[in-house]
Amino acid sequence: MQTMTFTQQLLQYIPFFYVIWSDDLVTISEINVVQNTIEKDQTLSREEKDTLLSWLNPDKPPRDSEMKQWKHTISNSNERLIESETYPLTSFSNRVASHYHGPVDFNESLKHIEINLGIQPNHYNHLFDVEVKHASTSTYYNPKELDQILKGKHANLIDAFRETLNHSIFKWDIHRDKEDFRNIVLDQVKFLAGKGYGAMAYPEAYGGNNDMEGYAHMFENMMYVDGSLTIKFGVQFGLFGGSIQKLGTKEHHDKYLTDTGKTSLLGCFAMTETGHGSNVRGIKTTATYDKATDQIIIHTPGKNDNKEYIGNALHSKMASVFAQLIVNGKNEGVHAILVPLRDENHELLPGVTVKDNGYKLGLNGVDNGKIWFDQVAVPRKNLLNKYGEITDDGKYRSEIKNANKRFFTMLGTLVGGRICVARAGLAGAKFALTVAVKHALKRRQFNDSIKVQEDLLIDYPSHQLRLTPLVASAYVYHFALDQMMESYCDEKQPDKRVIETQVAGLKSIITWYANNSIQECREACGGKGYLLENRIADLKGDVDIFTTFEGDNTVLLLLAAKGVLSDFKAEFNSAGFTSVLKILGMQLNNTLTTINPVYSNKVDKEHLYNIKFHKHAFNYRTRRLTYTLAMRIRNYIKQGMPSYQAFLKVQTHLLTLGKAYSTELAYNTFIGKIEQLSEDKNKALLFKQGTLFALHEIRKDAEWYLEQGYIGSTKSKAIRQRVERLCTELRPHIGSLVDGFGIPEHCLTAPIAH
Amino acid sequence: MQTMTFTQQLLQYIPFFYVIWSDDLVTISEINVVQNTIEKDQTLSREEKDTLLSWLNPDKPPRDSEMKQWKHTISNSNERLIESETYPLTSFSNRVASHYHGPVDFNESLKHIEINLGIQPNHYNHLFDVEVKHASTSTYYNPKELDQILKGKHANLIDAFRETLNHSIFKWDIHRDKEDFRNIVLDQVKFLAGKGYGAMAYPEAYGGNNDMEGYAHMFENMMYVDGSLTIKFGVQFGLFGGSIQKLGTKEHHDKYLTDTGKTSLLGCFAMTETGHGSNVRGIKTTATYDKATDQIIIHTPGKNDNKEYIGNALHSKMASVFAQLIVNGKNEGVHAILVPLRDENHELLPGVTVKDNGYKLGLNGVDNGKIWFDQVAVPRKNLLNKYGEITDDGKYRSEIKNANKRFFTMLGTLVGGRICVARAGLAGAKFALTVAVKHALKRRQFNDSIKVQEDLLIDYPSHQLRLTPLVASAYVYHFALDQMMESYCDEKQPDKRVIETQVAGLKSIITWYANNSIQECREACGGKGYLLENRIADLKGDVDIFTTFEGDNTVLLLLAAKGVLSDFKAEFNSAGFTSVLKILGMQLNNTLTTINPVYSNKVDKEHLYNIKFHKHAFNYRTRRLTYTLAMRIRNYIKQGMPSYQAFLKVQTHLLTLGKAYSTELAYNTFIGKIEQLSEDKNKALLFKQGTLFALHEIRKDAEWYLEQGYIGSTKSKAIRQRVERLCTELRPHIGSLVDGFGIPEHCLTAPIAH
């Protein structure tokens, strides 16, 4: 038999060579590793070394007949690969050699190759025509450690909160009737308030911890119970309470904040109108100061000017109403006024009309309603007057003279809510991914005709590709949002405008990501994903609206893009504009000079996995899009086009910039956080999530990079292959990765996840 | 004033020149039109002609100062553009000239340019700093005519059916309780059966019309009432009745088909099992022939082998059960057997267990359940025996000797159901698009500070871009599915395998398209889209599962791709394989020779709008993907990899091919249908839908085309710009386009659509 022509030393190498040459992605540096090891392997004769090295020549790969001979040699040994061994390929090779030559020593050099090539059984188990018992998931990483890293400095709070969610009041169930559902959710909110969680973000004087970051983490974990609970909680404490805390002054705090935190005062946040959703500045509700009575008169002027979609509208005693404040006949712009809605018997007060919005696609445990005001008078002191007040002598006064700036300062205080919405969306994605991955680690379908057992869903490359980049993105967005909330809460950064731009962008891309992920998970679970009991269906309904509320994603991306352009905007129509463009043009050219053909076709693993490459690619895109955008706008304006029209004409360009900017921001922020971690295997694993995220995102926009010549065809294909390969590499750990999200067992009720 | 330096003849041309040079997309052929017309314009002096021609030189575009001067001249006339005029730009130019020079004759040459450039007011209305009253939609096209074309030869049936849907039993309402909802839907199904619609596809002898094509159109229109109605209808008449019709023989037809069509016999289609969804061949339920009693014993062997997700399971008297047929100890493969489930009192028969599947994301009006059989005996004659029977002397007999072929023949008869699912998905998209477009034609948000009225949503480029390609795709898919059903019903084509491959692909891309469209519409309608009353929410829940049932989309795409490869597959592992590859390689090379740099950078409108370009681009992609796929598989197999593993390794490549193939098929089929229409403006409008579809699809896969060098950067950008421009061009007609879907007013209950 031909196989016996191999010495036992050579034979041990054959499974390795078979793996190396069956792989489409063998790189020069990988070959170098093998070459060096062979040279140093003292068990080999010079002749054996030369034979092996001749098999390694990339210019002269083994012929198919040679590959087949190797394959037969391996198959005929009847040895089986055992994936759970410490060095599975080395051990397997050893057994193959032993089959032909009798007991053979374990070759340390092969172990060295196995470790340094970083190849794992799932790379090559398909190559051997032997029956392999798949371990459904590896235990190399400890999910508890990952969870600990994700929780960071908030671990104690989060652990305690998760334990609180183990109470029977939070037991998941199907609630089809909206009245029942709303009452259950109201009870849950009150329960959490009773435990002190409602006031979490308020000052200590009002029962709180001043802990907005902790609040955001709670918000995320609440999603594991139910979306309606999360949103109702957010309306009561974040929006209603938040408007008192951030737009009101001490008098308001003293009078309302403690009660709000305890839910003894239920309130709503009445901003959106039927006719005005995204365009808050255009709302029509008026708040007219009447000097004679020293009161403010709240009024809904027209048919479509009612407050719309107001959460908590049916349970509330009071509303924080946004209206055009008119003092002495002058419109001072949008301000918030506290307006009592109901009396102690929960009867509507005179002049107030509330109507139920009815059933929705999701969040049916939240009581959304429409509100009309018919000349409703409230005391002057009900104006939340931090940024603008009516003085005792009936005059309007504000520290911020510019009405525009005043408006945006008021809205800016609500940016925290947007971070929380993104967090809640992320939680929805984490939950759905956990269910889908756990299902894929159990569910089998189809098989090779010679195998007894069908294959696990997760062992299909298409299934790995549909889920793994989404899991990696969840890690990236988690840390990005952590950092964003930290910056938002940082008192040393009084100018919140940069953060506003950043949050606008992140909220958009993360809530879109969340919806896509949940949909992908639904489909990945087939019909099982469609049953309410498996939880993905509700998430789909609930998270859907996150792309719209707290700022429509499209409008927010335009805002983000305009933020990026803002340094330019100030220069529009002025001579200085051209010089700014010139400076940016120069910087861009500097960047561009580095894109030589060698760079744009660099495809080795070291380069593609390098953070510098990812950062450069993201940064190049943002800058290039900014530059071309500014140029287009400038040309339009030079031709005499009004700037509103010019911006309309470049709208799709703005959206592209908004997305590019936000993706870059998420990645950079993530890397910044991970770099601070102590060195260990978990840190390496998290970096790998970053790599998959970055390559996946670059891949998604490959057409743009190709158009720009930033990457060439070869590189574009290499990136696609690397994404697929990373998904396969992470296959043994995907179970640990979703367990690392730390979703409590008592929340994870989906039967298919068990 | 400078403006007076223009003669009245020149002045009339100035708005045209301002439009031409403000446009990023002016092409050589467009310039030619203008040049020729100027030469022929007898109202111009030679000097005026030369001036005008000098302004047309693409190498020497007007300076910004010149553009500004034109702009001022136009603005200072204080004339307004009236978009509803027959030749708005010519009339406007005439008024501008008249302002400075007194009454001026209408210039026919300008009219000629306006028509031949094909520019419409919405291309240029942003250019003039004048207030324009937007007509919300043009009346140039008649939606009734479009509807008539879509209905084709089925117009009478569809009109009558739509009228039937005007009955109060179909009035839309919110049904939260599944028992109530299911009863209402059952009554609706019975009502339609009473009108004869249930038997539509059955032979006349059993109360039908033998009209499967008409059935598909009804199916689509039923979606305008409710998804649950559509699916329950499909289960009763299409799946249960269809299995009797297509897998049974005359005895079964005589005994059951008339009753099924009338709903006096309610039945279900019990194929899927908990453990086996996509892999039907692996189902575990057994049907063992017992010679002693001449009966077939139906049995559920294991825990996960119950029938799962069976529609109509709670209302049915009988099930068409798919099981492994065992005769004389030999497994003859999957067959269908009619099994009574309940007696006349609707009590379950001995050995039968049914459990409700509970609440789902959507389709809660359909009673899905699980079914277990414990040694249930039925007469031998209950075997649906068209393709395999048990003879009177207790032996298995089939005309189709190959068990594999037999199985696929049986499944193949159910392909009609897949077409219907795609149709229903398409109907969901049409409905959502109609609601979203009508909303966008009314809803205003934001404005230029100088304008009184806010802008319509549809006038935002991003909004046009998100909806218009989806509307165009609906037209393409409509005709593609029409043709597919026609081919499926064509008795002259006995080999249905090609159609199976085609339907597998189309069902996947169309149901995915439907879900994406519905989601886009939900977001495009903001919070209003989230309310059940506006109908999009239910569509989202209902249509979601269409990507999974009647064949999971991923599995179907793999099937389609393998169909494309099937000619190769027969050659695998044989010497002939190489020669087949060579032939295909040669053909590909022939195709490739046409991709010279001129072609890959051809960006003029004539080329990009040319059907030949679209067909070539789609065909090139399919062929190239097939070729590279075949090469990869061949190499793996030559290296000794088992073919199952080789196919697993190229799984994502297969999916890409499946999508490419299906998109090409949809476009070609659409073009084939449209070419048969009589020449008129509607035909041109439909071709334009095809152009937008094609460019949008090529654009979505631009990275691939760029990687292959099929298109260059310039062309890729030009395609993107053309897509945006086509959306803008279609803006005045988008209302007519959605009205053309013909959704009856009595079904279109969404308040935001009115």
Of B22, B532, B545, the CB nearest to A530: B545
- Do the Cβ atoms of B44 and B34 come closer than 8 Å? no
Q: How confident is the model at residue A485 (pLDDT cuts 50, 70, 90)?
A: very high
Residue B563: pLDDT band with limits 50, 70, 90 = confident
Give the integer Cα–Cα distance in Å for B14 and B6.
Answer: 9
Q: Which residue does chain A place closest to B450, by CA atoms?
A: A644
**Which of B454, B642, B651 is nearest residue A462 as measured by Cβ atoms?**
B651
* % of chain B beyond a pLDDT of 90: 64
Q: How far apart are alpha carbons A696 and B299 in whole angstroms?
A: 48
Mean pLDDT lowest among A91-105, A696-710, B133-147, B380-394: B133-147
Q: Answer yes or no: do B527 and A544 touch at CB < 8 A.
A: no
Q: Place B135 in a pLDDT band, splitting at 50, 70 and 90.
A: low
Domain B267-414: CATH architecture, name and number where available: Beta Barrel (2.40)
Q: In B, which residues are within 8 Å of A719 by CB distance? A: none
Token pair listed for A82: 């055992």
d(CA B683, CA B686): 5
Pairwise CB contact (< 8 Å): A126 & B645: yes
Q: What confidence tens digit (pLDDT) does each residue in B45-89 have?
A: 999 999 999 888 878 888 888 888 888 888 888 888 876 667 788
Span A168-176, average pLDDT:
96
Q: Where residue A304 falls among pLDDT bands split at 50, 70, 90?
A: confident
Long-range contacts of A147-153 (CB under 8 A, 24+ apart): A147/A739, A147/A740, A147/A741, A147/A742, A149/A677, A149/A682, A149/A686, A150/A475, A150/A478, A150/A740, A150/A741, A150/A742, A151/A217, A151/A742, A152/A482
Count of residues for chain A?
Answer: 754
A326: part of which helix (H) or strand (E)? strand A318-327
Contact B425, B740 (CB under 8 A): no
A360, B639: Cβ pair inside 8 Å? no
CA A489 to CA A315: how far, in whole Å? Answer: 30
Nearest chain B residue (CA) to A453: B282
pLDDT band at A23 (very low <50, low <70, confident <90, very high): low
Note whether B272 contacts A527, CB cutoff 8 Å.
Answer: yes
Is residue A533 within 8 A of residue A635, CB to CB? The reply is: no
Maximum Cα–Cα distance for chain B, whole Å? 110
> A725-742 pLDDT, tens per residue?
999 989 989 999 999 999
What pLDDT, on a 0 to 100 scale, did the predictor assign at position A188? Answer: 98
Number of CB pairs, chain A paired with chain B, less than 8 A apart = 235
Q: Do A278 and B126 touch (CB under 8 A)?
A: no
Residue A576 pLDDT > 70: no
**Cβ contact, residue pair A127, B279, below 8 Å:** no
Mapping DSSP onto H, E and C, the string for B397-431 reads: ECCCCCHHHHHHHHHHCCHHHHHHHHHHHHHHHHH
pLDDT tens-place string over residues B451-461: 455 678 898 99
Residues of B in contact with A649 (CB under 8 A): 126, 461
Phi, psi (degrees; rounded to nearest 5) at A665: -60, -45
pLDDT of residue B572: 43
Reading phi first (left if > 0) and then psi (alpha if -120 to 50, else beta), residue A210 is in: left
Helix residue spans in B102-140 (DSSP H): 108-117, 121-124
Burial of B606 (0-12, 13-18, 19+ CB in 10 A): exposed
Q: What is the dihedral of CA A381, A384, A385, A386, to 10 degrees?
A: 140
Which pLDDT does position A63 carry in this prediction? 86
| Nearest CB partner across the interface for A279, out of B359, B360, B446 | B446
Average pLDDT over residues B626-654: 84
| Of A122, A12, A434, A416, the residue nearest A245 (C-alpha) | A416
* Intrachain domains A267-411 and A417-739 with the same fold: no
Does pLDDT of B571 surpass 50?
no
Largest CA distance in chain A: 110
**Per residue in A356-374, pLDDT tens?**
999 999 999 999 999 999 9
CB B162 within 8 A of CB B214: no
Lowest mean pLDDT among A101-105, B133-137, B352-356, B633-637: B133-137
Q: What is the DSSP string of A717-745?
A: HHHHHHHHHHHHHHGGGHHHHHHTT---T
Residue A467 pLDDT exceeds 70: yes
Average pLDDT over residues A106-117: 82
Q: Alpha-carbon distance B369 to B309, whole Å?
A: 5
Nearest to B653 by CA among B628, B634, B636: B628
Q: Which of A21, A282, A707 sits opposite B717 (nearest CB)?
A: A707
Chain B residues touching A449 at Cβ < 8 A: 644
Predicted pLDDT at A25: 55
Q: Nearest Cβ partner of B361 from A449, A537, A641? A: A537
Instruction: Say how far apart CA A481 and CA A304 lie, in whole Å.
Output: 36
Q: pLDDT, tens digit, for every residue of B301-351?
A: 988 899 999 999 999 999 999 999 999 999 999 999 999 999 999 999 999
Residue A129 has a pLDDT of 54
Contacts of A529 in chain B (CB under 8 A): 548
The rounded distance, in Å, linking the Cα atoms of B159 and B180 is: 30
Closest-CA residue to A303 (of A321, A281, A285): A285
Q: Please report, in angstroms and rounded to a whole number, the separation of the first and last CA atoms in chain B.
A: 50
Query: Could you say which DSSP state residue A338 is in?
Result: E
Segment B161-201, tens digit of pLDDT = 999 999 999 999 999 999 999 999 999 999 999 999 999 99
Q: Cβ B649–A309 below 8 Å, yes or no?
A: no
What residue of B is the nearest CA neighbor of A450?
B644
Contact at CB, A530 and B360, closer than 8 angstroms? yes
Q: What is the ipTM of this complex?
A: 0.84
B401-431 pLDDT, tens per residue?
A: 888 888 888 887 778 999 999 999 999 999 9
CA gap B108, A242 in Å, rounded: 65
Overall average pLDDT of the A386-400 stretch: 95
| CA A718 vs CA A609, A715, B152: distances in Å | 11, 5, 48
Mean pLDDT computed over B663-671: 98
CA distance B754 to B744: 13
Q: pLDDT at position B576, please?
A: 47
Residue of A nearest to B445 (CA): A279
CA of A526 vs chain B CAs: smallest distance (Å): 6
Residue A260 is predicted with a pLDDT of: 98
Residue A73 has pLDDT above 80, yes or no: yes
Query: The domain A267-411 is classified under which CATH number: 3.40.50.720, 2.40.110.10, 1.10.10.10, 3.30.56.10?
Result: 2.40.110.10
Query: Does the distance separating the beta carbons of A545 and B530 come in below 8 Å?
Result: yes
Residue of B nearest to A552 (CA): B526
What's the average model confidence in pLDDT over A442-464? 74
Interface with A, mutate which of B457, B530, B636 (most A CBs under 10 A):
B530
Give CA separation, B336 vs B212, B385, B397, in Å: 22, 8, 15
Specify the DSSP element, H or E, that contains B538.
helix B536-544
Residue type, B111: K
With bands split at pLDDT 50, 70 and 90, how would you rate the model's confidence at A496? confident
> In angstroms, rounded to a whole number, what is the distance separating the alpha carbons of residues A478 and A741?
10
B352 has which bridge partners? B373
| Closest CA relative to residue B69, chosen from B121, B18, B132, B124 | B18
Q: Is B486 helix (H, G, I), strand (E, B) or coil?
A: helix
Catalytic residues of B: 550
Given a cut of 60, whether residue A131 has pLDDT beyond it is no
Judge whether A96 and A73 are in contact, CB under 8 Å.
yes
Instruction: Round the CA-based radius of gyration of chain A to a whole number and report it.
Output: 31
pLDDT at B668 over 90: yes
Check CB contact under 8 Å for B707 and A702: yes
- Token reading at B328: 């004389």
pLDDT-based confidence at residue B377 (cuts at 50, 70, 90): very high
**Minimum mean pLDDT among A213-222, A271-280, B198-207, B537-546: which range?**
A271-280
Q: Can you identify the CATH homologous superfamily of domain B417-739?
A: Butyryl-CoA Dehydrogenase, subunit A, domain 3 (1.20.140.10)
Residues of A in contact with B448 (CB under 8 A): 642, 644-645
For residue B532, list chain A residues with Cβ-Cβ distance below 8 A: 358-361
User: Pairing between strand B396-397 and B389-390?
Assistant: antiparallel
Based on its alpha-carbon atoms, the radius of gyration of chain B, rounded to whole angstroms, reads: 31
Can you name the CATH fold of A146-262? Answer: Butyryl-Coa Dehydrogenase, subunit A; domain 1 (1.10.540)
B-chain residues within 8 Å CB-CB of A277?
A: 445, 526-527
Catalytic-role residue among A30, A79, A220, A550: A550
Nearest-by-CA chain B residue for A718: B707
Report the gap between the CA of A153 and the closest CA in chain B (Å): 36
User: B343: exposed, middle or buried (C-beta count within 10 Å: 0-12, 13-18, 19+)?
Assistant: exposed
Confidence of residue A587 (pLDDT cuts 50, 70, 90): low
| Proportion of chain A in helix, strand, coil states, percent, rounded to 5 | 60, 10, 30
HSE-up (13 A, CA, CB side) for residue B138: 18
Q: Where is average pLDDT lowest: B122-131, B243-252, B506-515?
A: B122-131
pLDDT of B115 > 80? The answer is no
Contact A357 B531 (CB under 8 A): yes
Q: Give the tokens for residue A604.
A: 């080795």
Would you kindly state where each structural domain of chain A is located, as residue ranges?
2-127, 146-262, 267-411, 417-739
pLDDT beyond 70 at A24: no
Question: Where is average pLDDT lowest: A158-167, A271-280, A554-563?
Answer: A271-280
Q: Give backbone dihedrals phi and psi of B429, rounded to 5 degrees, phi first.
A: -65, -45
Q: At B334, give phi and psi (nearest 5°).
A: -70, 130
Closest C-alpha among B332, B326, B544 to residue B429: B544
Nearest-angstrom CA–CA distance, A242 and A240: 5
- Per the DSSP assignment, residues forming a β-bridge with B270 are B321
d(CA B468, CA B99): 38
Nearest to A579 by CA among A590, A568, A589: A568
- Determine the Cα–Cα distance for residues A408 and B578; give it in Å rounded to an integer: 69
- Candidates B21, B272, B644; nearest CB to A448: B644
What is residue B614's DSSP assignment? H
In this prediction, residue A84 has a pLDDT band, given cuts at 50, 70 and 90, of low
Q: Classify residue B446 as left (phi > 0), alpha (psi -120 to 50) or beta.
A: left
pLDDT for the residue B280: 82
List of chain B residues whose C-beta atoms are within 8 Å of the C-beta of residue A523: 547-548, 552-554
Contact A554 B462 (CB under 8 A): yes
Residue A571: pLDDT band by 50, 70, 90 thresholds? very low
Ordered strands of the A369-373 beta sheet: A307-310, A369-373, A352-356
Residues A218, A161 contacting (CB under 8 angstroms): yes
Count CA atoms closer than 13 A to A511's CA, side-chain side. 28
Q: Looking at the predicted structure, is the pLDDT value of residue A346 above 90?
A: yes
For residue A190, give both structure tokens: 């009150």
Mean pLDDT for chain B overall: 89
Is residue A2 over pLDDT 60? no
Say which DSSP state A302 is in.
S
